[in-house]
Chain A
């Protein structure tokens, strides 16, 4: 008779039962992941007459390369600064540096991303090899840095509001969670109309509530508002998800702690500061990690609403990856972004591990 012993091996049954799941995950997750790592160091294209070659870190250099260039204003023969008709100093043309491979190989073919002025007549330019990638990286980081605290904070407020013993509270919870079950693709399409510059609902509502003081804005057509518009919509869609996670965290805090605080006469703020918040530490880390990992893969919103525009103000890493790897069939370039993105996400989850270890 067979007996169950933790030491007895069941190799055949084990592999048979876990085999399908592992085989599928290996073929469709692990293998493509390893391939992306490999492609990132080659010049692989989808269709190419030339054989694929190993190119080392060239793709990453082409993506991440940058240099600094400090220019001084041009001087007149008497030593004073040359100025244009508006009285601004005139600087030498950047092209003479970025198109001169012999003298300035470090600046060759780079483009100016931004500059700052210092002293009276000096400008330091940041020149980058791949301006689209840099803009995509910058926007993605801004997106994450805005969405993470906003979404986590608002979700916590909602959770505290919902965690009260009020009649019908379940109804409100159901409503707040509703956008979560709607596809981001649908939500993005819908909000395109809400954000519309001419007949958009948001402009009408703002006009109504401000009695005509706030002028209409083309939210998605304006480089200074487009990314914020996408951020606000993403928070609206996802905040209910994190509210539920906060709620499940709140419900793990023993009620006796609250009763004790009541007897001691603690204020509401003290209760939150000394009981609720410490009890939510692990939930807080989990919420932040989930949001950050989701936010780094910003894609459908951009694809549906702006396609990276206006003026590249909503370019994102995943959007650039799709454009390069799929639309331009530059598999190596797309894979290099994949690897970069993965390392970013990995470092965040390692950071989370490190934080949770520390406190145990």
Chain B
């Protein structure tokens, strides 16, 4: 192949790659750009390439009115709180469980692990209604003593999602590849199981902790929709996804909706773009052994 031919081919490849890239980014650019425009201009611009350019009457007015329509700061705080607490608890509970499944020999180990992994194929949507009945009858200790029913609370959005089959599975896979000799040596020197977990296994688990954290983050922050609609009626505990309902009926206020969508999405996108290698690696990890 001559140098010219190679150059031509490479240009073609980059052109193709760029065209495809446009397909993936155009809705996102449209969303962000539109959030800065007044409705009338937004509609006019959508008929030309101006739809993708921040030109004309640019302002943060849509954001102001969106903040006026719904307690967005509160919703965002709720989403972040619920996601963060669930994520931290999940890493602890699932890694501890996986540790026991991989390194300890105990009665019921095989059965329990099989049961946990079997729930992998149960779609959440199919258990939402009985789950509602369960959380509605569970006890909780509040400021004024013990009461029953978890509706309208943070815990109803956190506790049911702490443990899941995928996270346990990721840790089990990772722990199985760790050198067992390290654990055996520590045990021989008299370390307790708790010490082995804390001082040997967890310090070696950076990659799997990152993978599990990223997947859990995406599962939690992005999917707080069906369940909160069912169990949370009070604004105090509502996550940001459900807040979208305030804007459902506004078919005309495009700019305002775009502003709200941008507020939801931009934190995730920034997070993704700074850690993109880790994000992609964590998705790849779910596919390595299947």
Contact = CB atoms under 8 A, between A and B. Distances in A.
Nearest to B290: A286
A74 B47 CA distance: 55
Contacts of A28: 131, 134, 159-161, 163
A180 B26 CA distance: 15
A21 B126 contact: no
Nearest to B43: A199
B225 interface: yes
Interface string A171-200: 011111111111111110111011000011
Interface string B79-106: 0000000000000011011111100111
Nearest to B122: A33
A35 B288 contact: no
A189 B261 contact: yes
A261 interface: no
A22 B116 CA distance: 7
Interface stretch (A106-114, A130-138, A334-342): A334-342
Contact of B272 (A1, A20, A158, A178): A178
Contact of A282 (B30, B123, B258, B290): B290
Contacts of B210: none
16 contacts: A10-B193, A27-B160, A33-B130, A174-B280, A176-B21, A177-B276, A183-B222, A194-B30, A200-B46, A201-B26, A244-B283, A297-B126, A304-B244, A321-B129, A322-B125, A331-B129
Nearest to A176: B24
A245 B286 contact: yes
Interface in B142-195: 159-165, 168, 183-184, 187-188, 190, 193
Contact of A297 (B94, B96, B109, B125): B125
B141 interface: no
A253 to B, nearest CB: 14
Contacts of A334: 129
A178 B288 contact: no
Interface residues of A, number: 99
Nearest to A171: B21
B13 A164 contact: yes
B186 to A, nearest CB: 9
A178 B28 contact: yes
B88 to A, nearest CB: 14
Interface size class of B (residues with CB under 8 A): 35 or more
Contact of B96 (A9, A20, A249, A285): A20
Given A3-B188, A169-B17, A179-B27, 19 more contacts: A17-B193, A18-B100, A25-B165, A28-B159, A30-B115, A31-B134, A35-B133, A39-B129, A161-B20, A173-B280, A175-B21, A177-B283, A178-B24, A178-B272, A182-B28, A185-B241, A201-B51, A326-B132, A338-B126
B127 interface: yes
B106 A190 contact: no
**Pairs A-B, 3 closest by C-beta atoms:** A14-B106, A21-B97, A183-B222
A335 B287 CA distance: 31
Contacts of A26: 115
Contact of B101 (A18, A32, A35): A18
Contacts of A236: 23-24, 27
A340 to B, nearest CB: 9
Interface in A329-360: 331, 334-335, 338-339, 341-342, 345-346, 349
A125 B118 CA distance: 41
B119 to A, nearest CB: 4
Contacts of A93: none
Contacts of A6: 105
Contacts of A184: 222-223
B265 interface: yes
Contacts of A30: 115, 119
Contacts of A180: 283
Interface in A200-216: 200-201, 204, 207-208
Contacts of A200: 46
Given A10-B193, A208-B48, A334-B129, A158 B20 contact: yes
B63 interface: no
B221 A176 contact: no
A296 to B, nearest CB: 7
Contacts of B105: 6-10, 14
